[in-house]
Chains A and B, each alone.
Chain A
Amino acid sequence: MDDLNPLAGTAHLLEEVDKKLMVLLRDGRTLIGYLRSVDQFANLVLQRTIERIHVGNEYGDIPRGVFIIRGENVVLLGEIDRDKEQKLPLKEISVDEILDAQRREQEQRQEKHRLVSKALKERGLAVNAELINEDFC
């Protein structure tokens, strides 16, 4: 790297500006959009953003527009490879269908959670549901 560059050897996002990025948030949501700006807190500006919902090997995209994301909610971000994007091993379905699939998945997860809690309770163990972040189960 250029020694004159004051950012040499530091982690920064300036090289990602104007690229198409996927951003994973702490709540588990995936956003895909063009990064327009960043600051020292990793606050991000995304333009032409879509929210991509994955269920199994199907996905659906919801257009969302411009985002200002507060940096502390970002888990990771990465550039989207335009070539590989063309041949995803996933199937795109409509927004309504993916939302439906997501709702069913959520219900299944809750049902499983209920059974586990019940089983634990019978064995004298209490689970505080509030402490479990369901998005990461």
Chain B
Amino acid sequence: MLPLSLLKTAQSHPMLVELKNGETYNGHLVSCDSWMNINLRDVICTSKDGDRFWRMPECYIRGSTIKYLRIPDEVIDMVKEDAQAKSRNRGEMNKNRGGNSQQNQNQRAVRSGNRNNFNNRGGQGGGPGLGNGGMRTGGSGQGNRLLAQNNKNRK
């Protein structure tokens, strides 16, 4: 989980942003981008020495002026749960991929058929029904004609 992804996860949460000049901004994160530019709402700005305050309904902070952001502890746990959920989904997808064995076998037959096609390209005529994309063909002659067509189409 990259720092900027964590920041994105923190959307709508309260946070404290300290700028390089020492001013701090307390508010709720509305949005952020990959440059760390951020929008806050319900903001309280505090001067560097901490003795002057300004309230503002919203503000935009350019990412390059930021020193650091402090976010609530629970946001980092939300990220972990997200990551776990994602990896769980990925695991299920893999299971599905290996699941339908009959379909897999068919696919393998098609692939090996193509390989035979390629081997037979030099002429001499392969055995009957060999190759041709796993399609069943009649006599050996017809099979070869189909083979030739296939090769032409491939070019």
Residues of A within 8 A of B (CB): 25, 27, 36-39, 43-45, 47, 64-70, 73
* B contact set with A: CB distance below 8 Å: 1-4, 6-7, 20, 22, 36, 63, 66-73, 75-76
In the bound complex, residues from chain A placing their C-beta under 8 Å from that of B63 are 70
Contacts of B20 in A (CB 8 A): 73
Nearest-CB residue, chain A, relative to B5: A37
CB-based contact A39/B72 at 8 Å: no
Which partner residue on chain A sits nearest B20 by CB separation? A73
Main secondary structure of the interface of B (DSSP, over half): mixed
User: Can you list 17 A-B pairs with a CB-CB distance of less than 8 A?
Assistant: A27-B22, A39-B4, A43-B3, A45-B6, A47-B73, A47-B76, A64-B70, A65-B71, A65-B73, A66-B71, A66-B72, A66-B73, A66-B75, A67-B69, A68-B3, A68-B71, A70-B67
Chain A interface secondary structure, helix, strand, loop or mixed? strand
Q: Quick check: A45 and B3 within 8 Å, CB to CB?
A: yes
Contacts of A66 in B (CB 8 A): 70-73, 75-76
Chain B: minimal CB distance from A106 (Å):
11
Known: A27-B22, A65-B70, A73-B67. A39 touches B3 (CB 8 A): yes
Give B15's nearest chain A residue, CB to CB.
A68
CA A38 to CA B3, docked complex, whole Å: 6
Most chain B C-beta atoms within 10 Å of own C-beta, residue among A25, A37, A44: A37
Q: Residue on A with the closest CB to B3?
A: A43
